[in-house]
């Protein structure tokens, strides 16, 4: 008898898969971008990565406002975990992200010129990549005193408040900062399709620049706002043109160099300040690579001696080393001198905008004027309400006994307010205020003291209304607040400005000793650099079985080599980068030495020289491409170029010609054609397919090519072509270079 199947028995795996496949719906990519990706991109831009005019991102603002609500502005420190947990009511992105934000704002981490969080415990360091901060349960925080300027008058309707993510709390859209924090606090952010990188400026200089901007809008900002200031100190190489570009457009790059001192008694160098954009680990790794490769030979040892006193990298020098020349070379070859990119992208009314420093100050001034105006209007309304109540109290002064009589004779509590309104001709608010006065205060002295404020309140209301209506008075208030902030919180510059400095223009070729050498390249990609003395002692070259010589150069260590591979790539290396070897060794295996892709091999190489001349690429299909060697020259020190020649047809030969001459091209049909190189014009792109030079029949292909002077052709006129492409002529025995047997 068959077993019955239960109704709720699980389906087979195949049924599940078929069920899932049945639910897949097709959606056009345009609809996916519009419905899914665009909201995400806008959220990242507007609500996460780009700072606003108060100099804060939403994550910063939510954290600081939570700490403000926790009374941490003037109170004692609390555990960071408490703050992180409370912040999640406004910022539901997880405790790790909130704590990372707190770390960056902390005094211990040192990423800001004026930290906003006063910290206690291990918060890591901005100049160290590997120094981890302690967990939130071990550290303690509170708001730094300068946050008083961030939250000044926040309870006086200076900024708008909105609901948090679940509508249970209110949070400010901006903080009413009384100074341009957007230029004082450094900020970085990567959004979708855009980024922001705002470097910090000295607080005193920023306040002074804002004051000058309000008084003299056409004044040159560089006269007051000298240059950016970085928490890690270092030295900024003054370039007025670069600074003017940053101040005008909000984009650009500035060079920053570390600071060091030479301890002569111990023959060592101490680096105690580094650029803000790098870390001690990055500098040490690069110096280590330079020492291992032999480019820097003056260093005996380098170690990190950073302690509680601050950053310190120590370099032990070898005897006779010049510290100035060494540091100049390290500044050029390592992040000890780095470029600080600037991209002043800021949200203005919810719209990202890249602005120069002057425009940022204008936007901040306009926004701050609105804050001050709103504060004045709020205070004016409060004083008007108070005046209104006192005017009602003043009417009571006319007949206190009447007021007492009305209250005493009123039978119902609910009728006290209406009876006072009728008896003295006052409104409900005034009547309620009078009714709430304690019995002991219903005397003439008390009422006279209170009503004496009426004239003072009227003067204050008139003054506040004048502030609201007159922008010049608002500017004067902002200027006075900026002067107070500057007096209380300004600090000396940390980053020194180097106006007079010598830019080290020494090239890598000059830094290496320019000595004569002999270079050998084998067919399988082994490279040897041999000194003349070593070559004279033993000239017989050793190769692997089946390998042999391919190319040879007599050159110097300062020259640059270009290695072309079978993957349409070119690798650059200086001759001096390779170690000296002997003829009795195989040499350096280039695919490993140059970091080539798996299976990639070198097929040809040349010396770049001054990048004059042209490269001729001969392809199997009979075409030849002429590309100027200068197309392979790069402004940066790139080690690998891609797409250096066409991949349409297999490459058979490469020739480098410094001057025009005749060339001979051979085919597998035993034909040859001779033509002048000037008949081919250089192409603008490296990957050009070239022009047809040799007409091919059937299965025959182009075999190889050589300069005519290096061939065995005797009668060149037989093979010379008047026009291209040409069929060429069959090689005669005397032109093949074969010796004939004779009796």
Cβ-proximal residues to 253 (8 Å cutoff; 6+ apart), any chain: 242, 339, 340, 341, 342
Residue 452 burial class via C-beta count within 10 angstroms: exposed 0-12, middle 13-18, buried 19 and up: exposed
Contact 401, 359 (CB under 8 A): no
84 vs 59: CA distance, rounded Å: 11
CA distance 678 to 498: 52
Residue appearing with tokens 């679940």: 166
CA dist 527 → 200, 521, 707 (Å): 50, 5, 25
Q: Helix (H) and strand (E) counts for the chain?
A: 22, 33
Contact status, residue 417 vs residue 435, Cβ threshold 8 Å: yes
**E-assigned strand segments in 207-298:** 235-237, 251-257, 259-263, 268-273
Rounded to an integer, what distance in angstroms lies between the CA atom of residue 649 and that of residue 689? 8
Round the CA-based radius of gyration of the chain to a whole number and report it. Answer: 40
- Say which residue the tokens 């670069």 belong to: 242
The helix or strand, by DSSP H or E, that contains position 365, with its residue range, turns out to be: helix 357-397
Token output for 178: 């009384």
Torsions phi, psi of 355, nearest 5? -130, 155
Residues 528/532/533/534 CA torsion (nearest 10 deg): 20
Closest CA to 666 of 624, 614, 723, 603: 624
Pairwise CA distance, residues 110 & 410, whole Å:
69
Q: Are 665 and 726 in contact (CB under 8 A)?
A: no
What burial class does residue 512 get, using C-beta atoms within 10 Å of its C-beta: 0-12 exposed, 13-18 middle, 19+ buried?
A: middle
The whole-angstrom separation of Cα 627 and Cα 176 is: 61
Give me the phi and psi of 478, to 5 degrees please: -65, -40
Q: Is 526 a catalytic residue?
A: no
Q: How far apart are CA 606 and CA 51, in angstroms?
A: 51
DSSP lists the bridge partners of residue 573 as: 561
Beta bridge partners of 529: 519, 580
Distance CA 250, CA 197 (A): 10
Segment (H or E) for 524: none
Q: Exactly one of 68, 99, 109, 138 is catalytic; which is it? A: 138
207-237 b/e with 16+ CB inside 10 Å = b?
bbbbbbbbeeeeeebeebbbbbbbbbbbbbb
- Cα 600 from chain centroid (whole Å): 34
| CA dist., res. 22 & res. 20, Å (int) | 5
3-state secondary structure of 166: coil
Cis peptide bond upstream of 725, omega within 30 = yes
Distance CA 612, CA 557 (A): 19
- Which residue's structure tokens are 């000595």? 515
Task: Give the integer Cα–Cα distance in Å for 123 and 101.
Answer: 11
Query: Which of the residues are catalytic?
Result: 138
């Amino acid at each position: 008898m068959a077993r019955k199947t239960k109704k709720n028995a699980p389906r087979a795996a195949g049924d599940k898969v078929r069920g899932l496949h049945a639910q897949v719906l097709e959606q056009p990519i345009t609809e996916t971008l519009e419905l899914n990706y665009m909201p995400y991109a806008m959220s990242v831009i507007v609500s996460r990565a780009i700072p606003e005019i108060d100099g804060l991102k939403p994550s910063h603002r939510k954290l600081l406002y939570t700490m403000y609500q926790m009374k941490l502005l003037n109170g004692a420190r609390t555990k960071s975990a408490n703050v992180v947990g409370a912040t999640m009511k406004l910022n539901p992105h997880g405790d790790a992200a909130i704590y990372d934000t707190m770390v960056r704002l902390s005094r211990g981490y040192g990423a800001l010129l004026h930290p906003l969080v006063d910290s206690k415990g291990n918060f890591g360091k901005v100049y160290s990549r590997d120094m981890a901060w302690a967990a939130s349960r071990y550290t303690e925080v509170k708001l730094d005193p300068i946050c008083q300027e961030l939250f000044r008058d926040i309870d006086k309707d200076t900024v708008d408040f909105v609901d948090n993510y679940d509508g249970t709390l209110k949070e400010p859209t901006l903080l009413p900062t009384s100074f341009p924090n957007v230029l004082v606090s450094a900020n970085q952010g990567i959004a979708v399709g855009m980024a922001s990188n705002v470097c910090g400026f000295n607080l005193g200089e920023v306040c002074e620049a804002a004051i000058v901007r309000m008084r003299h809008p056409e004044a040159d900002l560089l006269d007051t706002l000298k240059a950016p200031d970085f928490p890690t100190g270092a030295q900024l190489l003054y370039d007025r043109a670069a600074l003017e570009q940053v101040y005008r457009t909000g984009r650009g790059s500035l060079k920053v160099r570390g600071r060091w001192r030479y301890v002569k008694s111990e023959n060592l160098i101490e680096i105690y300040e580094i650029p803000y954009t790098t870390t001690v680990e990055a500098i040490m790794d690069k110096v280590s690579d330079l020492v291992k490769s032999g480019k820097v030979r003056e260093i005996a040892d380098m170690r990190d001696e950073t302690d509680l006193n601050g950053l310190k990298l120590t370099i032990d020098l070898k005897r006779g080393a010049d510290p100035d020349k060494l540091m100049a070379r390290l500044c050029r070859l390592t992040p000890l001198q780095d470029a600080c990119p600037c991209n002043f992208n800021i949200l203005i009314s919810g719209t990202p905008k890249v602005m120069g420093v002057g425009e940022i100050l204008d936007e901040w001034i306009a926004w701050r004027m609105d804050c001050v105006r709103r504060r004045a209007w709020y205070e004016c309304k409060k004083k008007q309400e108070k005046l209104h109540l006192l005017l009602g109290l003043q009417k009571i002064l006319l007949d206190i006994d009447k007021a007492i009589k009305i209250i005493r004779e009123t039978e119902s509590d609910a009728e006290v307010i209406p009876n006072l309104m009728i008896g003295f001709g006052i409104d409900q608010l005034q009547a309620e205020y009078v009714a709430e006065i304690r019995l002991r205060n219903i005397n003439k002295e008390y009422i006279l003291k209170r009503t004496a404020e009426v004239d003072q309140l009227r003067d204050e209301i008139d003054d506040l209304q004048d502030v609201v209506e007159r922008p010049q008075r608002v500017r004067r208030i902002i200027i006075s607040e900026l002067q107070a902030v500057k007096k209380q919180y300004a600090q000396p510059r940390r980053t020194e400005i180097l106006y007079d400095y010598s830019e080290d223009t020494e090239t890598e070729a000059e830094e290496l000793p320019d000595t004569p050498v002999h270079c050998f390249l084998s067919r399988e990609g082994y490279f040897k650099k041999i000194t003349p003395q070593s070559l004279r002692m033993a000239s017989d070259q050793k190769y692997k079985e089946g390998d042999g010589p391919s190319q040879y150069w007599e050159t110097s260590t300062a020259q640059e080599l270009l290695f072309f591979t079978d993957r349409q790539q070119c690798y650059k290396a200086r001759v001096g980068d390779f170690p000296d070897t002997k003829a009795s060794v195989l040499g350096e295996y280039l695919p490993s030495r140059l970091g080539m892709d798996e299976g990639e091999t070198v097929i040809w190489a040349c010396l770049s020289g001054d990048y004059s001349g042209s490269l001729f690429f001969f392809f199997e299909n009979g075409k030849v491409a002429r590309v100027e060697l200068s197309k392979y020259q790069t402004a940066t020190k790139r080690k690998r170029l891609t797409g250096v020649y066409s991949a349409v047809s297999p490459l058979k030969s490469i020739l480098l010609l410094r001057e025009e001459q005749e060339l001979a091209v051979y085919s597998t049909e035993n034909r040859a054609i001779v033509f002048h190189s000037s008949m081919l014009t250089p192409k603008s792109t490296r990957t050009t397919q070239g022009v047809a030079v040799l007409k091919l029949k059937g299965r025959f292909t182009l075999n190889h090519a050589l300069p005519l002077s290096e061939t065995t052709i005797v009668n060149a006129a037989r093979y010379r072509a008047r026009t291209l492409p040409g069929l060429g002529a069959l090689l005669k025995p005397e032109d093949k270079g074969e010796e004939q047997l004779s009796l």
